[in-house]
A and B are shown apart, each in its own frame.
Chain A
Amino acid sequence: MKKITTILSLFLLMTLISFLGWRSIEHEVLMRKNNETLLAKSHINNIKLSIESLLNQRISYFNSLISMIDSDHNNAKELLEKETDFRKIFVINKNNILFLSHSEDSSWHSLVESIALDHSLLLNLKDHDEQFQPNSGWYQNYDHLIYWFIVSDDIIGFELSTVKLTFDIINLLDNQSLEDNFKLINNDKQIYSNGKTFENEITESLKYPLQNWHLTYYYSSPNLVNLYILGIGGIGLLILVLFGFVFYGYREYTRTLRLAKQQVTFVGQVSHEFKTPLTNITLYSEMLSEYLEEEPAPIPDYLQVISAESKRLTRLIQNVLTFNKPNNLNIKPVNLTALLKQVYLTFKPILAAKSLQLNLINLENDCIVNTDADSVMQILNNFLSNAEKYASKGKQVDLSLCRSGKQVVITVRDYGEGVASHLLKQIFKPFYRVSSSITEGVSGTGIGLTIANQLAKQLQGEIKVINKKPGIAFSLILMEQKNENINC
């Protein structure tokens, strides 16, 4: 169940990372596309402006010529011979044509005649309102493109040479933009093209009077394949690294667990093997002490030591075995008050031997809880023997039993040196021993508290450790099954 949850959450995490990564790639793609479009737009505008400025240069050039032409029409002839920007010139005064070049060109002739008859033809009505009378402007009639000026009474018109304009545009663009891909088209005629054709294009029309000229700008989509590969690769790498960490952590965890298990199993097996010879040693030492009771000192004393030490060793091995194989619980109503009194009586002389005084304080009356008496006894034994071993400096040990709500709390508190706060969690780990001056020279396996903790969990209870300064308090908390209205 736990495994499935882990895999599922990992999968969810992966999906989340992929999704977020994908979204950011898409965002980047959109941004790049947008940038390309903006860039293309600014480029097309630049080209457009430079073409239009060419036309404006023409206007100012014509402007500089009008006074010359107006004063002497022969100047116009000379200009026509030399200049290339315009092809034809006319000068109209009121309704008379004063000067007309290329009068043999009939369409040109009739066009100028019609202008002479009706000047308002020149006004491009959609551009100006009726009150405003411009002094100059473009006039377009089929393939004639005329720029005209009104100078006092005269109207002077230049027909623009579109061929020269095209020539200038081609060379202007040739000089300017080398990197851009675009086409300039007049109606259907391609005037200029530069670079290649790409899938994306923007088309813009030029300003009047070149409204039939279209500028098409081509630009390629940014190379997104790389971006996608990079993005997906990045996401993949991230997920891979994540999985790597998880896997590494999991492996370390299982390895430690396996090692610990091996250790425990090994100790268990060894302990089991120790048990039989030890029983024999105990038995024979006891028999020997009975047999040699009358012997002079120090023989009985020596025997006493052998017997006591072998018993202690038996106890230790029993502890190890208990830790290794959880004992069967025998749950029944237990009178904890009675149990505590029993413990008190048992341990009082042992503690006294280390000049510790055991006090039974705050004892609840008739505190009956559904639990396993042996387990509780073992836990308390552990607490008290720890106090005996490590807190002999404290001179006293307090044993208490109280109730708080549905909980029953049994506390053993000593007045020794206690345990540093950061080590409080460690002490429950198997085979862990606090290394300090107080543990030196004291025998111990380091699994007492581990067993106690295991037992407490089996009883659906828990063990709490509180640093009291001085000393330390170990509490066994059990859940009370019967509802009794007695408070601490």
Chain B
Amino acid sequence: MKIIKIFALLGLSVCSLFGHAQINKQIQVRSELSSPIILEGTPETNYLKVSLSGQNIDSKKRVPINLAIVIDKSGSMSGQRIEKAREAAILAVNMLNENDTLSIVAYDSEARVIVPATKVDNKLRIIGLINENIYAEGGTALFAGLSKGIKQVENQLTKDKVNRIILLSDGQANIGPSSVDELSQLAIIAAKKNIAITTLGIGSDYNELLMSSIASYSDGNHVFVNNSADLENVFVHEFNDLMSAIAQDVVITIQLKNGVKPVRLLGRDGVIKGNEITVKMNQLFSNQEKYVLLEVIPDKGKVGQEKTLAQVDLKYDNLLENKTENETQVVRISYTKDKKMVDDAIHQDVIVETELQKVALENEKALELYNQGKRDEAQQLLRENGEALKAISAQSPTMSMSDKERIENQARKNKTLAESVQKPDFSKTLTEEQFQLKQSAIKK
């Protein structure tokens, strides 16, 4: 009998070990070079792509959300906008459950906490408060509103929750600190507390630079809501993201070895210190792949040689398991004389992402030109960028269908953007597009 028990226990523990092993796979890391095999002696620019993709194994389980909705209720919001904002907030209340925490801050000339961070267990009361307090009047004290939103999330901040703020605004911040720099600093403060801020710009009067900066500095999302009727859809979309969060506080450290030189990060912001590159991501969702693209110049090598190019360390908080996890991968590079081998080894998908990020950088210039009033030049640049993408897609016969589609999709987008230069909301649309592109997330 005893022996059977021991075996049973052993069996159980082995099972649990395997179980862990499986859960560890919730984030799949792939570190690959655009050209893992290169010609000897001629070190060319190479691209290292570290991609993380979330796998949701247990789709029913979801991470509790700690959300603050910060609503602009300034005078300009009056009418349909404030109504839709109210509806969106109520939608949010209905989508959350008693494990989640919700707070609502509304600001006009001053900011007021309408619903202090509470568990969403009495939905009727919260909805009552929303309907009672959210009506449009006054100025736009965005800084104060956001500050209070951050505070509310901070009050309930724990590592096992998705901590997020949804900021809704349709106007220029005009009360309190209002510069892009000051609000970016506030977003950085939020980011340091592991709070992401998603900014929703409504209509055509908001400051897209300000709103997108807040989102990018805190690793949140930025969406341009042209028609306030779409607000609910945007909310649903955002919530689907939030509810599929599986990892938080992701830190990717790339250590370049053997004389490899870093050039730049494409898309994502990160810190390059000597040979060490650190990139942080606030959240990772199960339905997307996020990646880091690093442009490097490898060292010279001899034929047949294989060198370690980089060591990639990944650290993140597993939200489903409530623990910090680590993973290390090594990226190698080989040298050859054979041009054919080099071409065959090329990872087309890395090239594609590289091209997309490069276009993002070029498009950034177009945005700058546009903001300087050089509309025609901006249009020209956008069109050229699109054409360049098309050419790439045409030149590479080996490219997979999905990659081709991504490239062509962006080329189409560029074309549409170039055509819509004269439209009033052009810069807002472009800012949003840029933001999405630079987020370097591939929706699955």
Q: How far is the CB of A80 from chain B (nearest CB, A)?
A: 10
A163 located at the interface, meaning its Cβ lies under 8 Å from any Cβ of chain B in the complex = yes
B323 located at the interface, meaning its Cβ lies under 8 Å from any Cβ of chain A in the complex = no
How many residue pairs link A and B with beta carbons under 8 A? The number is 58
- Mask, A69-86, CB within 8 Å of B = 1, is 000000000000011100
A191 lies within 8 A of B186 (CB): no
Q: Which residue of the partner chain B has the closest CB to A163? A: B185
B150 lies within 8 A of A167 (CB): yes
The one of A164, A189, A191, A192 that contacts B189, using a Cβ cutoff of 8 Å: A164
B175 lies within 8 A of A190 (CB): yes
B147 lies within 8 A of A166 (CB): yes
How long is the Cα–Cα vector from A189 to B178 in the complex, in angstroms?
Answer: 9
Which A residues are in CB contact (< 8 Å) with B148? 170-171, 174
A174 lies within 8 A of B176 (CB): no
Interface positions of A from 359 to 378, Cβ below 8 Å from B: none
Interface positions of B from 167 to 184, Cβ below 8 Å from A: 175-178, 182
- Mask, A171-198, CB within 8 Å of B = 1, is 1001000000000000001111110000
The one of B144, B185, B188 that contacts A192, using a Cβ cutoff of 8 Å: B144
B143 located at the interface, meaning its Cβ lies under 8 Å from any Cβ of chain A in the complex = yes
The one of B110, B151, B188 that contacts A194, using a Cβ cutoff of 8 Å: B110
Which B residues are in CB contact (< 8 Å) with A190? 109, 141, 175-176
The one of B113, B176, B192 that contacts A84, using a Cβ cutoff of 8 Å: B192
**A166 and B109 in contact (CB under 8 A), knowing A171-B147, A174-B151, A191-B144?**
no
B185 lies within 8 A of A191 (CB): no
B144 lies within 8 A of A84 (CB): no
B143 lies within 8 A of A166 (CB): yes
Q: Which residue of the partner chain A has the closest CB to B183? A: A163
Which A residues are in CB contact (< 8 Å) with B193? 84
Q: Which residue of the partner chain A has the closest CB to B185? A: A163
How long is the Cα–Cα vector from A82 to B188 in the complex, in angstroms?
Answer: 10
A161 located at the interface, meaning its Cβ lies under 8 Å from any Cβ of chain B in the complex = yes
B151 lies within 8 A of A163 (CB): no
Q: How far is the CB of A48 from chain B (nearest CB, A)?
A: 19
B177 lies within 8 A of A166 (CB): yes
Which B residues are in CB contact (< 8 Å) with A164? 185, 189
How long is the Cα–Cα vector from A194 to B185 in the complex, in angstroms?
Answer: 24
A174 lies within 8 A of B182 (CB): no
A170 lies within 8 A of B147 (CB): yes
Which B residues are in CB contact (< 8 Å) with A170? 111, 143-144, 147-148, 151
Q: How far is the CB of B20 from chain A (nearest CB, A)?
A: 30
- Mask, A139-179, CB within 8 Å of B = 1, is 00000000000000000000001011011001100100000
Q: Which residue of the partner chain A has the closest CB to B186? A: A163
Interface positions of B from 92 to 117, Cβ below 8 Å from A: 109-111, 113
**A167 and B147 in contact (CB under 8 A), knowing A82-B192, A174-B113, A192-B110?**
yes
How long is the Cα–Cα vector from A82 to B249 in the complex, in angstroms?
Answer: 13
B177 lies within 8 A of A171 (CB): no
How long is the Cα–Cα vector from A337 to B148 in the complex, in angstroms?
Answer: 115
Q: How far is the CB of B146 from chain A (nearest CB, A)?
A: 9
Which A residues are in CB contact (< 8 Å) with B113? 174
Q: Which of A161, A171, A194 has the most CB of B within 10 A?
A: A171
How long is the Cα–Cα vector from A194 to B177 in the complex, in angstroms?
Answer: 16
- Mask, B191-215, CB within 8 Å of A = 1, is 0110000000000000000000000
How long is the Cα–Cα vector from A240 to B13 in the complex, in angstroms?
Answer: 98
Which A residues are in CB contact (< 8 Å) with B109? 190, 193
**A161 and B185 in contact (CB under 8 A), knowing A170-B147, A192-B110?**
yes
How long is the Cα–Cα vector from A161 to B177 in the complex, in angstroms?
Answer: 13
Which B residues are in CB contact (< 8 Å) with A191? 143-144, 176-177
Q: How far is the CB of B116 from chain A (nearest CB, A)?
A: 10
How long is the Cα–Cα vector from A170 to B141 in the complex, in angstroms?
Answer: 11
Q: Which residue of the partner chain A has the closest CB to B273? A: A77
Q: How far is the CB of B176 from chain A (nearest CB, A)?
A: 6
How long is the Cα–Cα vector from A190 to B144 in the complex, in angstroms?
Answer: 10
Which B residues are in CB contact (< 8 Å) with A194? 110
Which A residues are in CB contact (< 8 Å) with B144? 170, 191-192
Q: How far is the CB of A274 from chain B (nearest CB, A)?
A: 95
Which A residues are in CB contact (< 8 Å) with B175? 189-190, 193
Q: Which of A163, A171, A189 has the most CB of B within 10 A?
A: A163
Which A residues are in CB contact (< 8 Å) with B182? 163
Which A residues are in CB contact (< 8 Å) with B150? 167
Q: Which residue of the partner chain B has the closest CB to A183? A: B110
How long is the Cα–Cα vector from A82 to B186 in the complex, in angstroms?
Answer: 14
Q: How far is the CB of A2 from chain B (nearest CB, A)?
A: 70
How long is the Cα–Cα vector from A164 to B183 in the complex, in angstroms?
Answer: 10
The one of B141, B151, B176, B185 that contacts A171, using a Cβ cutoff of 8 Å: B151
Q: How far is the CB of A143 from chain B (nearest CB, A)?
A: 10
How long is the Cα–Cα vector from A163 to B186 in the complex, in angstroms?
Answer: 6
- Mask, A16-30, CB within 8 Å of B = 1, is 000000000000000
B177 lies within 8 A of A189 (CB): yes
Interface positions of B from 1 to 54, Cβ below 8 Å from A: none
- Mask, B139-166, CB within 8 Å of A = 1, is 0010110011011000000000000000
Q: Which residue of the partner chain A has the closest CB to B155? A: A171
Q: How far is the CB of A348 from chain B (nearest CB, A)?
A: 110
Q: Which residue of the partner chain B has the closest CB to A87? A: B185
- Mask, A430-473, CB within 8 Å of B = 1, is 00000000000000000000000000000000000000000000
Which B residues are in CB contact (< 8 Å) with A171? 147-148, 151
How long is the Cα–Cα vector from A170 to B176 in the complex, in angstroms?
Answer: 10
Which A residues are in CB contact (< 8 Å) with B141? 190, 193
Q: Which residue of the partner chain A has the closest CB to B278? A: A81
**A163 and B189 in contact (CB under 8 A), knowing A170-B148, A174-B148, A191-B176?**
yes
How long is the Cα–Cα vector from A209 to B59 in the complex, in angstroms?
Answer: 54
Which A residues are in CB contact (< 8 Å) with B192? 82-84
Interface positions of B from 62 to 120, Cβ below 8 Å from A: 109-111, 113
- Mask, B291-309, CB within 8 Å of A = 1, is 0000000000000000000
- Mask, A404-424, CB within 8 Å of B = 1, is 000000000000000000000
The one of B110, B151, B176 that contacts A189, using a Cβ cutoff of 8 Å: B176
B110 lies within 8 A of A167 (CB): no
How long is the Cα–Cα vector from A192 to B177 in the complex, in angstroms?
Answer: 10
Which B residues are in CB contact (< 8 Å) with A193? 109-110, 141, 175
How long is the Cα–Cα vector from A105 to B176 in the complex, in angstroms?
Answer: 25
Which A residues are in CB contact (< 8 Å) with B147? 166-167, 170-171
B177 lies within 8 A of A163 (CB): yes
Which B residues are in CB contact (< 8 Å) with A82? 192
Interface positions of A from 74 to 107, Cβ below 8 Å from B: 82-84, 87
Interface residues of B (CB under 8 A from A): 109-111, 113, 141, 143-144, 147-148, 150-151, 175-178, 182, 185-186, 188-189, 192-193
**Interface contacts beyond A164-B189, A190-B175: sample of 10 additional A-B pairs, CB < 8 Å, sorted by A:** A163-B182, A167-B147, A167-B150, A167-B186, A174-B113, A174-B148, A189-B175, A189-B178, A191-B177, A192-B176
Report 6 cross-chain contacts, Cβ distance below 8 Å, ordered by A residue.
A87-B185, A163-B182, A170-B148, A171-B151, A191-B144, A193-B141
Ranked nearest first, the 9 interchain pairs of A and B with the lowest CB-CB distance are: A163-B185, A171-B151, A170-B147, A193-B110, A84-B189, A167-B147, A190-B175, A84-B192, A170-B144
